[in-house]
Chain A
Amino acid sequence: MKKVFSKPESLQDKSNSYCPGCGHGIIHHIIAEVIDELGIREKTIGIAPVGCAVFAYYYWNFDVTEAAHGRPPAVATGIKRCLPDRVVFTYQGDGDLAAIGTAEIIHAANRGENITTIFVNNANYGMTGGQMAPTTILGQKTTTTPFGRNAKRDGYPLKVCELLSSLDGVCYLERVAVSTPKNVLRAKKAIKKAFENQLNERGFSLVEVLSQCPTDWQKTPTDAVKWVDEVLSKTFPLGVYKECVKK
């Protein structure tokens, strides 16, 4: 019998700690598949964030380090400049990348660091129990926006792809989702391109993934994916925000 599908070598043979319906498991899997397909497992160094996905290193099967909250792009810069022939990527949430680590991501992107960033936007702080994130949408209820996010009190959702698209050092920006099989395939294509760009030394690539957080959204897994498609993606439209011309 021909084997047509198996667990990627870049994933350890373990069940993960994520909630039912969470997007992290899918995104971890996509990254593992892409790393396998590009044959780069033995030269990849991943940077796990502060948040639920800090435990990504228990699931991936390659070298991984932790970093302080918001600092993965600076850590990645240190690694990549010292080992330019290795593949370095950061895996960051919305609080990590778009709040406390705003300076680090903007400057790493603007320096054109030849790294890949997977930015998981689930519109709240998942691990700490569902507080407002920079990407929480207007009207969205969280533990710290009990009446819904109000622009006057809480400011506006931060649109990272739009923001970074003006920077000269950036090679590639795409926003994807993992809410449907079709979106998952599209997300995989984008993530693969972001890694290929690094292999081709094209500079900074970031893929923003709209991800579902059913527990903190207080939705069932099916309602959560529906909310991504029908509500979240209205504030954060899917698509390519920047793509450099091939060298």
Chain B
Amino acid sequence: MIVGKTAKTKLSKSSKMKNDKILMKGNIAICEGAIDAGCDAYFGYPITPQNEAPAYMSKKMAELGRVFIQAESEVAAINMVFGAAICGKRAMTSSSSPGISLKQEGISYLAGAELPCVIVNVQRGGPGLGNISGSQGDYFQATKGGGHGDYHIIVLAPYSVKEMYDLTFLAFDLADKYRIPVMILTDGIIGQMMEPVDIGRKSEVGSRKSEKNWKLDGCKGREPRLIRSLFMEEGGLEKHNWHLKEKYDGIKKTEIRYEADFTDDAEVLIVAFGITARICKSAVKKLRQEGLKVGLIRPVTLWPFPEKVISEVASKSKKILVAEMNMGQMVEDVKLAVNGICPVEFLGKPGGAVFSEDEIIQKIKEI
């Protein structure tokens, strides 16, 4: 296995405080990652399949003397996050697909005002009320903006309970480092899944590197500050948006993360993220045992997207298969990365159900 990262932060290694394996649910691992990262304030609203998160945080945050509010709506929750982020606090909210749609207004403002925060989307089936099973139908919404205007947020896609912890922890650091909202794009399967994990606890000490010299906390001993996303002065918005572009380009250079399995000699390359990648990973192992040269790239950052590595592997492969629990969303980014070097096939499942290993194996054999 090659873990490709241009960034220095390691995904799995950390200063371990405990080694005990414990049985943990994905949604709880998110909370633990947030708490260990020093999340100061959590604002939530009930929606299945992420309800363990607000319930767990309501108790834990109170015990730690931190802020917890069950808001009156997802709209209010994301705006409370906005308020907490303004004060320089580490703030988060979690929800599921229909609720994330409601938060998009706030996410656009957070991106425009360059406020760091963490947003968790435990995806369920859609459109509309859809169903409450896991889905990957919000890829477009997460990676292409989601709200109005010209912006990006960092999107991380965990594929295990352990990564729910690790990536949530990482999300707070990335948010602060770049003054940007970071989304954990997971799904109802990983959220509800329980696994025995050695969580490898990390400590927030040292992770808060920069003094937030932009935060609002009263203008004692300094000039008053302003947080805004409105730029009415001539040329003001264009300047601001070019500044955002520069920031996004920097993130693309340094924060791309992915995992690559058996890609050195892969004749067929599978690209999949999240729970689908987990299933593909074991399918690839079985296919290798049968002597088929199949490899896997699992984007961990969905934005920025690991287009370069996909393009490199594609140039040596005969075919690419993209598998997603939707009607075909990430496949568009893969096609852009591949740029016609080799054919790209798609296998989808848009009804809120997961693939079986056999479905992947059969599709690979077909192509």
A-to-B contact residues, CB < 8 Å: 41-45, 54, 57, 60-68, 71, 74-83, 86-87, 103-104, 106-107, 111
Q: In the complex, what residues of B have CB within 8 A of residue A71's CB?
A: 75-76, 79, 82, 106
Contact check, A66 vs B113: say whether CB atoms are below 8 A apart: yes
Which residue of A is nearest B221, CB measured?
Answer: A42
Q: Could you say which of A44, A71, A87 has the most chain B C-beta atoms within 10 Å of its C-beta? A: A71
Distance to closest chain A CB from B112 (angstroms): 9
Given contacts A78-B79, A78-B80, A86-B217, are A57 and B69 in contact (CB under 8 A)?
A: no
Given contacts A74-B80, A75-B83, A78-B41, 8 further A-B contacts (CB under 8 A): A62-B224, A63-B224, A64-B226, A66-B109, A78-B81, A79-B86, A81-B84, A87-B218
Given contacts A63-B224, A71-B106, are A77 and B80 in contact (CB under 8 A)?
A: yes
Distance to closest chain B CB from A61 (angstroms): 6
Distance to closest chain B CB from A242 (angstroms): 21
9 sample A-B contacts, Cβ–Cβ < 8 Å, listed by A number: A44-B218, A65-B228, A66-B230, A68-B79, A74-B76, A78-B81, A79-B86, A82-B84, A83-B217
Give which listed residue, B69, B75, B226, B229, contacts A77 with CB less than 8 A: B69
Contact check, A76 vs B83: say whether CB atoms are below 8 A apart: yes
Give the distance in Å from the alpha carbon of A82 to the alpha carbon of B90 in the complex.
10
Contact check, A107 vs B72: say whether CB atoms are below 8 A apart: yes
Give the distance in Å from the alpha carbon of A51 to the alpha carbon of B103 in the complex.
21
Give which listed residue, B105, B106, B218, contacts A42 with CB less than 8 A: B218
Q: Could you say which of B69, B87, B105 has the most chain A C-beta atoms within 10 Å of its C-beta? A: B87
Q: Is B138 an interface residue when CB atoms closer than 8 A count as contact?
A: no
Q: Is B91 an interface residue when CB atoms closer than 8 A count as contact?
A: yes
Give the distance in Å from the alpha carbon of A113 to the alpha carbon of B37 in the complex.
27
Chain B, residues 73-99, CB within 8 Å of chain A (1/0): the string is 101110111111111010100000000
Which residue of A is nearest B216, CB measured?
Answer: A63
Given contacts A68-B109, A83-B87, A103-B72, are A78 and B43 in contact (CB under 8 A)?
A: yes
Give the distance in Å from the alpha carbon of A104 to the alpha carbon of B83 in the complex.
13
Q: Is B67 an interface residue when CB atoms closer than 8 A count as contact?
A: yes
Q: In the complex, what residues of A have CB within 8 A of residue B89's CB?
A: 82
B-to-A contact residues, CB < 8 Å: 40-41, 43, 67, 69, 71-73, 75-77, 79-87, 89, 91, 105-106, 109, 113, 216-221, 224-230
Give the distance in Å from the alpha carbon of A64 to the alpha carbon of B83 in the complex.
11
Distance to closest chain A CB from B180 (angstroms): 18
Distance to closest chain B CB from A38 (angstroms): 13
Q: In the complex, what residues of B have CB within 8 A of residue A83's CB?
A: 87, 217-218
Distance to closest chain A CB from B212 (angstroms): 13
Give the distance in Å from the alpha carbon of A144 to the alpha carbon of B91 in the complex.
40
Q: In the complex, what residues of A have CB within 8 A of residue B217's CB?
A: 45, 63, 83, 86
Contact check, A57 vs B73: say whether CB atoms are below 8 A apart: no
Contact check, B218 vs A43: say whether CB atoms are below 8 A apart: yes
Give the distance in Å from the alpha carbon of A93 to the alpha carbon of B230 in the complex.
18
Give the distance in Å from the alpha carbon of A133 to the alpha carbon of B46 in the complex.
32
Contact check, B229 vs A66: say whether CB atoms are below 8 A apart: yes
Contact check, B216 vs A65: say whether CB atoms are below 8 A apart: yes
Q: Could you say which of A54, A78, A79, A86 has the most chain B C-beta atoms within 10 Å of its C-beta? A: A78
Which residue of B is nearest A74, CB measured?
Answer: B79
Give which listed residue, B76, B91, B229, contacts A103 with CB less than 8 A: B76
Contact check, B67 vs A82: say whether CB atoms are below 8 A apart: yes
Contact check, A64 vs B76: say whether CB atoms are below 8 A apart: no
Contact check, A67 vs B82: say whether CB atoms are below 8 A apart: yes
Give the distance in Å from the alpha carbon of A54 to the alpha carbon of B232 in the complex.
11
Distance to closest chain B CB from A106 (angstroms): 8
Q: In the complex, what residues of B have CB within 8 A of residue A78's CB?
A: 41, 43, 79-87, 91
Give which listed residue, B76, B113, B218, B221, contacts A107 with CB less than 8 A: B76
Q: In the complex, what residues of B have CB within 8 A of residue A45's CB?
A: 86-87, 216-218
Q: In the complex, what residues of B have CB within 8 A of residue A106's CB?
A: 72
Q: In the complex, what residues of A have CB within 8 A of residue B69's CB?
A: 77, 81, 111
Q: In the complex, what residues of A have CB within 8 A of residue B76's CB?
A: 71, 74, 77, 103-104, 107
Distance to closest chain B CB from A93 (angstroms): 15
Distance to closest chain A CB from B74 (angstroms): 11
Give the distance in Å from the alpha carbon of A41 to the alpha carbon of B109 in the complex.
26
Contact check, B82 vs A61: say whether CB atoms are below 8 A apart: no
Which residue of A is nearest B71, CB measured?
Answer: A74
Give the distance in Å from the alpha carbon of A103 to the alpha carbon of B79 in the complex.
13
Give the distance in Å from the alpha carbon of A65 to the alpha carbon of B113 in the complex.
10
Contact check, A66 vs B219: say whether CB atoms are below 8 A apart: no
Give the distance in Å from the alpha carbon of A131 to the alpha carbon of B224 in the complex.
34
Which residue of B is nearest A107, CB measured?
Answer: B72
Contact check, A43 vs B230: say whether CB atoms are below 8 A apart: no
Distance to closest chain B CB from A47 (angstroms): 8
Q: In the complex, what residues of B have CB within 8 A of residue A66's CB?
A: 109, 113, 227-230
Given contacts A74-B79, A77-B83, A104-B79, are A43 and B72 in contact (CB under 8 A)?
A: no
Give the distance in Å from the alpha carbon of A62 to the alpha carbon of B218 in the complex.
7
Give the distance in Å from the alpha carbon of A178 to the alpha carbon of B40 in the complex.
41
The 5 closest A-B pairs by CB, nearest first: A78-B83, A74-B79, A78-B80, A43-B218, A107-B72
Contact check, A65 vs B79: say whether CB atoms are below 8 A apart: no
Contact check, A79 vs B84: say whether CB atoms are below 8 A apart: yes
